[in-house]
């Protein structure tokens, strides 16, 4: 499979990998009906406010005095100044400008100067369901009625005492689909030759489901310089020789995981979970959150010593991937569309999965109408929410 | 009036404060038929040229050898290079590129190399009426025929020996209307709580005219840390205790004033005059010019000593206001329109005044046709200005 | 001719120098069927790749192990990552991402992991004819069939042992036509008064052909400070007094030359060749390549000593020209069109020559369709290029 094949002719095909009647994958929005991480819990102590975002929706995250995290539309109902510039008071958030106060459910609780007989003020702003786990603050940006039933990712290793977990968070200027394709197509190891040494990834097999693609590769080292962190991460330092690893990568919409099992040991040396969260309305910028869980070696403290080297190694690999996927996005921007001509079948599959599970982007991207007119609590006088009486 | 009211329901209303058939206030241009400051006189010594602008019209200001200031369209009639890059010679301005010379009225007076029999050159460029007062250079960007009759602002305190005046000039990236609303709505003192201490502004009353809104507030200090300059400005340092002040704010189109009278003294401690001059064609950036006239205290030199503290204090307050109004403009830009939901009646009034007294913005903002075709002196061969013979 | 004429009236004319049915000169693309320099040869050693561009077409230049330079479309056929991020191996260029290898003619020669039975991969990318001379790498961006017959510029002095040649390369943010007009209209010496002293350029005559305009000026020094390099360049330091020079400037589409002959010597003191290569799709940014060939003086080594002063002088002059032509482009951008009102006949001529010899710009500038669909080798399955079988 991984033999060096010369280029041969195949059946004729149109330029680009999407049929004329299919939408360009890079214009497919991510499905908002999932839990998405938007910040690390550690960055949000009690009484603090943070600005976050999901696909162009600005979100003010704050943590009340009781320790609960809330997520509000980051825009005061009064004059649209960001609530993330505001001040936490107890469980409420006050706008910095005219001191309007909001509850965690987005309702205005107090306007300090409201004259008697004034027009009815707006009810409030949209709020988002919030959960916290694995050190991350997750919000549910889609239909709130679906939030309760939607599961958070299940990551036993991120909570197991036999593993230690490293957290990543950074912005990559590309559509989330480039990131899924990058990780699933392990033929891109050429990009990492200076860090990982020369590797011949052999595809062992793959399966595609309605919302998933899983590929298994055999990684056979074949020489070249290698970053020390690479060996430490895959357990070499713990007695393993430079042996092959089985690497399993899985897109399980909308998340992605990677699992590395050295052939010599039989159990996972490490596993990675990643979420790619669109930041801007066009979804051409992604915030990447990653959890890298590493099995603790027998020797206590060894992993602690190796930690900075492993972090440096992963940062180097990630920087190379970022360069490549951002170059892909720039090419897309210049061309105004997707010219990819893919030859690797499982990548064609993941493109289909991401297209089928995605959601339409708002069109045009920056509408002059309120994009949340139907779900937004700040429309006055609609009377549709009978339970919204102010105390 | 300023009691802390809980939110109550009022009559139903549409989102945003303008009716469907009204233009968005942030798309209303300022009326050009007024005198607008565009530079400080001190920045324009004899023989110097400056680039200024009004609502996207670039202006070359220069001062001739005799001391007179002139304002020309900042664009050579020949090849449109800015005349503000040029050289003053006597009362004329020469373009830096091919040395065409212009008189203060915009007419070309000399082209050093013009061949005999050449096509008739352009007559010149537009000029603007100029006046100087209070240390400011004012231009009249509208219909020149109206300039003579249009009054300059009357600011006796800016010229009185019993006051000393501090000048401000800075760029704020927002539509001028946000600045009017900011100053008139004193309920925003929450924004300044770190500088002014806690203040409960009580609205004593307000009046609205066809081109004006005037509001009177009682400012009652209610604790909290306060910048020292704040007290010095309102005359506390001069024997007054921490007593209430009556603050009168007036929008008198297109200018704005604020007057502070401590209840203990009965005469104004200070007064502020401000003009908000759009810089760009879309009028989403304003150049603010302010004159803050402070009554001199009985003790000579006391104000001199307090001067740097007062300046620091006003800079701090202004920086907070700028943060808020620029955030409002950014929200408008993202939303593509005005979503304000105002509850304070006098702000609804000033919005009406600004809308009623404004002028349409050029639409589309950057036309491919000459925006000054009717008033511009550089159209060749129109023959409409019989008195334009070159000497 | 160069007498200081007062402005006189001529026949009536429309604003701007193009008739209503003519295209705006600043929207005329340069004709791609010429050889254009895109890099210095010295920047491209063996085994190196460089990113270059011509009018928005990104080009990967690389030099193989044998010393030959190649120019490929800078976009991998697979996922459009720039090939200029790749690695040279022998005479081929490998993409940095998935290691696809390309030959110098743009054909894919190897895909390391291509599975048997996979879809036929793309054939490759576009390549451009390359030639090297005068220390410059030239490409032919137009119809490759015309490349062989198209001559490179003939610059005997750039290769003569009796001259020494200084090379220039810099980006100027303007349409190439502004640069032609700048150099041909020597009445702009006012711009350089601080560097060249006061000069009265007298137009001796000019001729216009279908693809050329040539003007001859007499440069008579008339006082003022002068940069030392100016005198050294024109041979003053070699015994000549401050005598007049005959300066001949020629636009020979698409290049431009300037030749300086001091009246005292009768032979050229220096000559300049310049090419203005559009970088971006809208052709509003130009890369300027210049070769300044200076006659060696009798005294060996004198030119060597003068070299840094001459370079500083030319840099100063060029910086002033750049300021002026970039200001012209900014004015065009703001106005959305050409408002030039030219009075100098030979400039009207060169504008006609540049318009007549140019090519249409792609319209709209950034099409969503592949701009190279007809000439691009990476369209799959078209079957039109029967000789493209992969080995």
Q: How far is CA B354 from CA B28, B213, B287, in A?
A: 8, 10, 17
Q: How far apart are CA C189 and CA C317, in angstroms?
A: 10
- Specify the residue for token string 């840099």: C315
Q: Nearest CA to CA, how far is A122 from chain B (Å)?
A: 7
β-strands C49-54, B57-63: how paired? unpaired
Contact criterion met (CB below 8 Å) for C305 and C164: no
Say yes or no for a CB contact (<8 Å) between B15 and A80: no
Exposed/middle/buried for residue C86 (C-beta within 10 Å: 0-12, 13-18, 19+): buried
Q: Nearest CA to CA, how far is C43 from chain A (Å)?
A: 23
SS (H, E, C) A258-295: EEEEECCCCCCCEEEEEEEEECCCCCCCEEEEEEEEEE
pLDDT the model gives residue B370: 34
pLDDT the model gives residue C7: 39
Q: How far apart are CA A221 and CA C317, in angstroms?
A: 58
pLDDT band at B221 (very low <50, low <70, confident <90, very high): confident
Shortest CA distance to C57 belongs to which of C370, C359, C386? C370
Does the structure show a pLDDT above 50 at A186?
yes
Higher pLDDT: B362 or C246? It is: C246
β-strands C286-295, A69-73: how paired? unpaired
**Which 8-state DSSP code applies to residue A337?**
S
Q: Would you tell me the crossing angle of helices B302-335 and B176-184 to the nearest 10 degrees?
A: 120
Does the structure show a pLDDT above 60 at B364?
no
Q: Which domains does chain B possess?
A: 36-146 (2.102.10.10), 156-360 (3.90.380.10)
Mutate to test the interface with A, among B2, B4, B7, B175 (most CBs of A within 10 A): B7
Nearest CA in chain B to C348: B119
Angle at B171 between CA B199 and CA A97, to 5 degrees: 30
Does the structure show a pLDDT above 50 at C10?
no
Say yes or no for a CB contact (<8 Å) between B390 and C8: yes
The 10 Å CB-count burial string (b at 16+, else e) for B54-63 is bbbbbbbbbb
Segment A92-97 mean pLDDT: 98
Q: How far is CA B312 from CA A62, B317, B319, in A?
A: 32, 9, 10
Q: Nearest CA to CA, how far is A99 from chain B (Å)?
A: 6
pLDDT the model gives residue A388: 27
- Specify the residue for token string 């009211």: B5
Q: What pLDDT, in 10s, does the model give residues A342-377? A: 999 999 999 999 999 999 997 543 333 333 333 333
Nearest CA in chain C to A1: C115
Q: Which tokens in the block code for residue A161?
A: 């005492």
Q: How far is CA B308 from CA A40, A270, B220, in A?
A: 43, 61, 25
Show which subunits contact C, needing at least 3 CB pairs below 8 angstroms. A, B
Residue B321 dihedral angles phi and psi, to the nearest 5°: -60, -40
pLDDT the model gives residue C385: 27
Show which subunits contact B, needing at least 3 CB pairs below 8 angstroms. A, C
Say yes or no for a CB contact (<8 Å) between A187 and C115: no
The 10 Å CB-count burial string (b at 16+, else e) for B177-191 is bbbbbbbbbbbbbbb
Mean pLDDT of the residues in chain A: 86
Nearest by CB: B112 against C4, C15, C328 = C4
Q: Which tokens in the block code for residue A76?
A: 């005061």
Nearest by CB: C119 against A10, A187, A203 = A10
Contact criterion met (CB below 8 Å) for A199 and A221: yes
Say yes or no for a CB contact (<8 Å) between C94 and A190: yes
Q: What pLDDT, in 10s, does the model give residues C342-387? A: 999 999 999 999 999 999 987 543 333 333 333 333 333 332 222 2
pLDDT band at C4 (very low <50, low <70, confident <90, very high): very low
Q: How far apart are CA A258 and CA A180, in angstroms?
A: 11
Nearest CA in chain B to C345: B118
Q: In what order do the strands lie in the sheet with B57-63?
A: B49-54, B57-63, B69-73, B127-128
Segment A193-207 mean pLDDT: 91
Q: What is the Cα Rg of chain C in Å?
A: 24
C370 to chain A: which residues are within 8 Å by CB?
A: 15, 335, 339
Contact criterion met (CB below 8 Å) for B249 and B184: yes
Does the structure show a pLDDT above 70 at A121?
yes
Segment C225-241 mean pLDDT: 66
Would you list which residues of chain C are within 8 Å, Cβ to Cβ, of chain A? Answer: 75, 77-82, 85, 94, 96-99, 108-116, 118-122, 366-368, 370, 378-381, 383, 389-391
Q: How far apart are CA C251 and CA C184, in angstroms?
A: 8
Q: What pLDDT, in 10s, does the model give residues C120-147? A: 889 999 999 999 999 999 999 999 999 9
**Which 8-state DSSP code applies to residue B20?**
T
pLDDT band at A237 (very low <50, low <70, confident <90, very high): very low
- The helix or strand, by DSSP H or E, that contains position A166, with its residue range, turns out to be strand A163-172
Segment C219-237 mean pLDDT: 74
Does the structure show a pLDDT above 50 at B25?
yes
Contact criterion met (CB below 8 Å) for B57 and B209: no
pLDDT the model gives residue B298: 84
Contact criterion met (CB below 8 Å) for C91 and C103: yes
ipTM of the complex: 0.87
Q: How far apart are CA B176 and CA B254, in angstroms?
A: 9
pLDDT the model gives residue B19: 59
Q: Which tokens in the block code for residue A241?
A: 């020789």
**Which 8-state DSSP code applies to residue A368?**
S
Show which subunits contact A, needing at least 3 CB pairs below 8 angstroms. B, C
For residue B299, the Cα-to-chain-centroid distance in whole angstroms is 34
Strands (E), chain B: 28-29, 36-40, 49-54, 57-63, 69-73, 87-89, 92-94, 101-102, 108-110, 127-128, 130-133, 136-139, 163-172, 199-209, 212-221, 245-252, 255-262, 270-278, 286-295, 359-360
Segment A135-164 mean pLDDT: 96
Segment B188-202 mean pLDDT: 90
Residue A67 dihedral angles phi and psi, to the nearest 5°: 100, -5
Per DSSP, the three-state class of C239 is coil
Does the structure show a pLDDT above 80 at C17?
no
Shortest CA distance to A229 belongs to which of A152, A318, A163? A318
Contact criterion met (CB below 8 Å) for B358 and B104: no
Nearest by CB: A331 against C81, C110, C120 = C81
Q: Nearest CA to CA, how far is B175 from chain A (Å)?
A: 14
Beta bridge partners of B219: B201, B245
Q: Would you list the DSSP string of A370-381?
A: -TTTTT-TT-TT
Q: What is the Cα Rg of chain A in Å?
A: 24
Beta-carbon count within 10 A of B261 CB = 20
Q: Which tokens in the block code for residue A268?
A: 């996972």
How many Cβ contacts (< 8 angstroms) between chains B and C? 123
Q: Which distant-in-sequence residues (6+ apart) come within 8 Å of A369 by Cβ?
A: none
Mean pLDDT of the residues in chain C: 86
Q: H-type helices in chain B, by residue range?
A: 176-184, 193-196, 228-233, 302-335, 345-357
Would you list which residues of chain A are within 8 Å, Cβ to Cβ, of chain C? Answer: 1-2, 4-15, 185, 187-188, 190-191, 201, 203, 323-324, 327-328, 331-332, 334-337, 339-345
How many Cβ contacts (< 8 angstroms) between chains A and C? 121
Higher pLDDT: A391 or B187? It is: B187
Mean pLDDT of the residues in chain B: 86
Share of chain B above pLDDT 70, in %: 85
Contact criterion met (CB below 8 Å) for B94 and C190: yes
B334 to chain A: which residues are within 8 Å by CB?
A: 366
pLDDT the model gives residue C229: 79
C6 to chain B: which residues are within 8 Å by CB?
A: 109-110, 114, 390-391
Does the structure show a pLDDT above 90 at B167?
yes
Segment C285-301 mean pLDDT: 93
pLDDT band at A236 (very low <50, low <70, confident <90, very high): low
B1 to chain A: which residues are within 8 Å by CB?
A: 113, 115
**Which 8-state DSSP code applies to residue A79?**
T
pLDDT the model gives residue B239: 44
Say yes or no for a CB contact (<8 Å) between C121 and A10: yes
pLDDT band at A221 (very low <50, low <70, confident <90, very high): confident
Shortest CA distance to C325 belongs to which of C169, C171, C172? C172
């Amino acid at each position: 499979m991984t033999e060096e094949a010369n280029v041969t002719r195949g059946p004729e095909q149109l330029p680009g990998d999407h049929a004329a009647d299919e939408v360009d994958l890079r214009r497919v929005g991510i499905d908002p009906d999932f839990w998405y991480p938007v910040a690390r819990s550690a960055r949000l102590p009690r009484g603090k406010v943070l600005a976050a975002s999901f696909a162009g929706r600005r979100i003010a995250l704050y943590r009340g005095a009781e320790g609960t995290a809330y997520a509000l539309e980051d825009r005061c109902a009064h004059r649209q100044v960001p609530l993330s510039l505001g001040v936490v008071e107890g469980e409420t958030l006050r706008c910095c400008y005219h001191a309007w106060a909001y509850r965690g459910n987005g309702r205005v609780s107090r306007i300090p100067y409201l004259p008697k007989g004034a027009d009815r003020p707006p009810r409030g702003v949209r709020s988002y369901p919030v959960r916290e786990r694995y050190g991350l603050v997750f919000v549910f940006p889609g239909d709130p009625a679906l939030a309760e039933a939607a599961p958070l990712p299940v990551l036993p290793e991120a909570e197991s005492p036999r593993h230690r977990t490293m957290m990543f968070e950074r912005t990559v200027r590309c559509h989330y689909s480039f990131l899924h394709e990058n990780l699933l197509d392990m033929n891109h190891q050429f990009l990492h030759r200076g860090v990982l040494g020369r590797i011949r990834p052999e595809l062992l097999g793959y399966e595609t489901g309605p919302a998933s693609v899983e590929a298994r590769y055999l990684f056979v080292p074949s020489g070249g310089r290698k970053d020390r962190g690479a060996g430490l991460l895959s357990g070499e330092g713990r007695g393993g020789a430079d042996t092959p690893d089985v690497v399993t990568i899985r897109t399980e919409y909308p998340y992605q995981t990677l699992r590395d099992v050295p052939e010599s040991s039989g159990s996972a040396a490490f596993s990675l979970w990643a979420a790619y969260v669109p930041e801007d309305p066009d979804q051409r910028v992604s915030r990447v959150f990653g959890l890298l869980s590493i099995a603790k070696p027998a020797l206590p403290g060894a992993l602690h010593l190796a930690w900075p080297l492993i972090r440096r190694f992963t940062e180097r690999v990630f920087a190379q991937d970022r360069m490549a996927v951002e170059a892909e996005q720039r090419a897309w921007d210049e061309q105004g569309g997707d010219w990819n001509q893919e030859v690797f079948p499982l990548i064609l599959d993941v493109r289909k999965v991401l297209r089928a599970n995605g959601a339409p982007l708002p069109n045009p991207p920056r509408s002059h109408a309120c994009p949340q007119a139907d779900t937004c609590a700040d429309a006055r006088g609609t009377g549709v929410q009978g339970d919204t009486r102010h105390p």
